[in-house]
Structure 1
Amino acid sequence: MKRQAILAALCLLAGCERGMHQMYDQPRYERGDEAPLFADGVAERQAPPGSVATTGAEAMPEPPAITEALLERGRERYTIYCTPCHGAGGDGDGMVVQRGFPRPPSYHVKRLRDADDRHIYDVITHGWGVMYPYADRVSPADRQAIVAYIRALQFSRHAPVDRLEAADLARLRDLPDAGGRR
């Protein structure tokens, strides 16, 4: 009796699984398809009165002035939301990467240094590849602050020598070179 109950339960579960796939893989109409469901026979429907068309793209706020406070806010938000994958320096070596998660690109590659701010803002907003979208977690103003901080990270490694202060150049000269010499 017990064996029959287990067999019946397994059969029911198998049927549920098939039903679930049917729910996920429902047929849908494409633009221009015929649809006998509607009186006019056309699948494409007019938008309801009063609806507002959108492109799906969120307007990016005006870029804020780069201030110490903005960069500090960007650093804080970056540390919370970005460091686990991208790492503290933006190299793509965060803790989850060290645990086997796919490595994101370094912010220091030419492609991302050359990308406009909108690209970085949109990736934070909508995600990219395996990166989850953060629009519901990070406000537009904080996304702007993160973009500014990422730009500061990039600049910190790729600053043109002619834009450095004399004191910074002197400190660079005092650093050991790759061979460990002064």
Structure 2
Amino acid sequence: MVYSVRKSILTRLVRLAWLPLCFLLVACHVDMYDQPKYKPNDVSTFFPDGRAMQPPPANTVPLNSYNPDSPLMTGRIEGQLADQLPPEIRLDAALLAHGQSRYNAFCAPCHGLVGDGQGVIAYRGPMTVPSLHQDRLRTVQIGYFFDVITNGVGRMYSYASRIPPEDRWAIAAYVRALQLSQNADVALLTEAELEQVRAGR
């Protein structure tokens, strides 16, 4: 009697165990494998050129295209802080304008719009933010600013994950221009430039 009951229970359990397997078998369709898709070198009516394989979009950056040890990525030349922009970065008005935009977004809250260390965060908080116009920072290599943005210093944390290398160089170039604007020798300005200064332009 006991054996018969056990056998009956075991039989029911086996039958119940088959139910999930049956559901899985029903759920599996070859559609998931044979779904509509293009293969390399297929013809496509979707694109104007009739090809399924399309060239990469403009400004696509190939994987591992950067040399991690290059001056562009490290701010250093043969281990020493770079004293000039890397060859990939062109110094022009567009670079400085972009650097100003990135500086205002990431740096000005602490360093201030003119780099005097009187940004909103510094004004409201107890910490002291160094002025970018002190003699020590006016004479350091431009690679120093790239290095600080990349790795941080003191209470300033790294911005490497927030600011791409090209933008870090743009900020560094703008900081140099900002330093010059606040410490320029008026005697070196032309009359036209003096008129612009007086007009606040």
TM-score normalized by the length of structure 2 = 0.54
Q: How does 1:1-182 map to 2 (within 5 A)?
A: 58-60=73-75, 62=86, 64-170=89-195
Cα deviation digits, residues 54-102 of structure 1 (max 9, x gap):
99x9533715232111011101100110011001110001111111141
Conservation of the 8 A alpha-carbon contact between 1:71 and 1:149: yes
Partner of 2:29: none
TM-score normalized by the length of structure 1 = 0.59
Partner of 1:49: none
Q: 1:164 offset after TM fit, Å? A: 1.7
In structure 2, how many angstroms separate the alpha carbons of the residues matched to 1:59 and 1:88?
Answer: 26
Conservation of the 8 A alpha-carbon contact between 1:85 and 1:103: no
- Would the alpha carbon gap of residues 149 and 172 (structure 1) be closer, same or farther in structure 2, given more than 3 Å must change? closer
Aligned-partner residue type, residue 77 of structure 1: R
Q: 1:173 offset after TM fit, Å? A: 7.0
- Would the alpha carbon gap of residues 101 and 84 (structure 1) be closer, same or farther in structure 2, given more than 3 Å must change? farther
Aligned residues: 121
Aligned-partner residue type, residue 128 of structure 2: R
Q: Which runs of 5+ in 1 are unaligned?
A: 1-53, 176-182
SS at match of 1:103: coil
In structure 2, how many angstroms separate the alpha carbons of the residues matched to 1:124 and 1:89?
Answer: 17
What is the root-mean-square deviation of aligned Cα atoms in Å?
A: 2.5
Aligned-partner residue type, residue 82 of structure 1: C
Moved over 4 A (4+): 170-175
